[in-house]
Amino acid sequence: MADYLQAVFLGILQGLTEFLPISSSAHLRIFPELFGWGDAGAAFTAVIQIGTELAVLIYFRKDIWRIARAWVLSLFKPEYRGALDARMGWFIIIGSLPIVILGVLLKDVIEEHFRNLWLIGCTLIVLGIVLGIADRVGRTDKVIKQMTLRDAALMGGAQALALVPGVSRSGATLSMGRFLGYDREAATRFAFLLAIPAVVGAGVFELKEIGNVGQAHAGEADYGWGPTITATVVSFVVGYAAIAWLLRYVSTKSYTPFVVYRVLLGGGVLALLAAGVLTA
């Protein structure tokens, strides 16, 4: 029963933090440690993120269908190749390659070394400051129609940094988008579309790790299928309930509150580590 209660809490946490540039994976690493539950683990984290991405798939279903249809048609009909939706399909594919390649190559490092709380505390602070700078210096003169293959590749490279918990997939992509001059709405829209292949792919890739009782790394909680499914369902429900408001807020408001929150959370984690309250 304790595992299921923890799963509900972690599902709510995932649903509330996935769409904000504050790193859901960092929250799923920090808060269980604070409560003495142990590290939820990279596999559990990746799988329950499928729940929130399912919310994104449903929310953006018309856009996704339109992009997928135009992209497929462009493979056979030249007249479709200049259409924005067809190009967007290629942009998402190219932008997804860095995180896919690095995720496979660095799997062991991600699961063991990147989950160190000293590293997470520092990335929360540093990438939070980067996000704040990007939001201030960004020209906001580009819209989604002006997306280029170069820009998609650069935003995809930035997204790959989120393999380190604390970076934030949306935060890194939004930062690069703002540095490239895209307005908040365009940067946010592409960030969420770009995340779909990466998150769903990572979750499916890690499914085989769930339920391997006794195979968790040292210090990790050993969640089985029941708690994992519970957390995934909860993250979907909470994420879907919150997505419209959260997307609208991130698209139109200053990122300053998130920058402040990241710095405070990261600083708090480092202070608790130094005091011996948390173990890395």
Look up residue 56 and give its two tokens. Answer: 């994104």
Summarised one tens digit per residue, pLDDT across range 101-134 is 998 888 888 878 888 999 999 999 999 999 999 9
Tell me, what's the pLDDT at 218? 46
Least confident among 16-25, 135-144, 233-242, 267-276: 135-144
pLDDT at 215 over 60: no
Summarised one tens digit per residue, pLDDT across range 15-56 is 999 889 999 999 999 999 998 888 888 888 888 988 998 999
Q: At what angle do helices 84-105 and 149-160 cross, to 10 degrees?
A: 30
Give the C-alpha separation, 278 to 142, whole Å. Answer: 43
Overall average pLDDT of the 140-161 stretch: 93
Domain ranges of the chain: 1-275
Per-residue confidence band for 222, with pLDDT thresholds at 50, 70 and 90: low
Looking at every residue in the chain, the average pLDDT score rounds to 89
- Whether 30 and 120 have beta carbons less than 8 Å apart is answered as yes
Q: How many CA atoms lie within 13 A of 102 on its CB side?
A: 17
Overall average pLDDT of the 197-205 stretch: 83
In single-letter form, the type of residue at position 230 comes to T
Tell me, what's the pLDDT at 139? 76
Give the C-alpha separation, 93 to 104, whole Å. Answer: 16
pLDDT at 185 over 60: yes
Tell me, what's the pLDDT at 154? 97
Length of the chain: 280
Tell me, what's the pLDDT at 206? 76
